[in-house]
Amino acid sequence: VSELPECLEQLVRTLTRLPGIGRRSAQRIAFHLARSSPDEVRRVADAVAVLPEKLGPCEVCGNLTDESPCRVCSDPRRDPTLICVVEQPENLAAIERSGSYRGLYHVLGGSISPLRSVGPEDLRMAELGRRLEQGDVREVILATNPTVEGEATALYVARQVVPEDVRVTRPATGLPVGGDLDYIDKSTLSRAFETRHDLR
């Protein structure tokens, strides 16, 4: 039985469901909020509460956005002949932070995983296929995570989704196997993009 008041315990449990937050961090945040002024607590609550109504997927690329098409898709300075395929919006954000890429993106919404029963039809594969059919794209860069599932997803896209006449590449150098794109530093990410290799 927890020694915390019920509402505090409830908050701790809710926080531990968030990524990267264990019981100790959750308690530290919960006690901090309990000590904060009502105004401060409301600022935190409001910032979280508006997310579902303000954010949604970009109708073009699947990026998380408050306006559709998203800022990347509607930026005329981006190179429309390049599409970088990633698993999640946070991967797109990590690549943008590295500043090493000026093309467009396509966010799949995950990776193919038989274990979690996620198949190609659960991801934004058909949308990618339709974008490629329009014929402007010359190269697809498959920047899915360097995990077993990410590799399998990259191969599926290369074999089943990208038309024959479009180049397919994958960032190579320096991406640690089993790692996650978000934890790779800027210079490693830039180098990986510069030294991408053909996948077929």
Question: Which residues of this protein are in contact with Zn ion, per CB under 5 A?
Answer: 58, 60-61, 63, 69-70, 73
How many helices (DSSP H) and strands (DSSP E) are in the chain? 8, 7
96 vs 139, beta carbon nearer Zn ion:
96
Nearest distance, CB of residue 106 and Zn ion, angstroms: 9
For Zn ion, the closer CB: 15 or 86 = 86
Q: Which is nearer to Zn ion, 5 or 56 (CB)?
A: 56
* Nearer CB in complex with Zn ion: 69/109: 69
Nearer to Zn ion, 62 or 171 (CB): 62
The DSSP H or E segment spanning 85 is strand 79-86
Residue 26 CA to residue 18 CA, distance in Å, equals 9
Rounded to the nearest whole angstrom, what is the least distance from the CB of residue 33 to Zn ion in the complex?
A: 34
Tokens 């979280």 — which residue?
A: 48
Separation in Å, CA 82 to CA 89, 95, 167? 17, 14, 10
The least distance separating Zn ion from the CB of residue 69, rounded to whole angstroms, comes to: 5
> Shortest distance, CB of residue 17 to Zn ion, whole angstroms?
28
Helix or strand holding residue 174 (H, E) = none
Locate 144 and state its tokens: 């899915």
Q: Which amino acid is at 71?
A: R
Smallest distance from Zn ion to CB 71, Å: 8
- CA angle 106/160/158 to nearest 5° reads 60
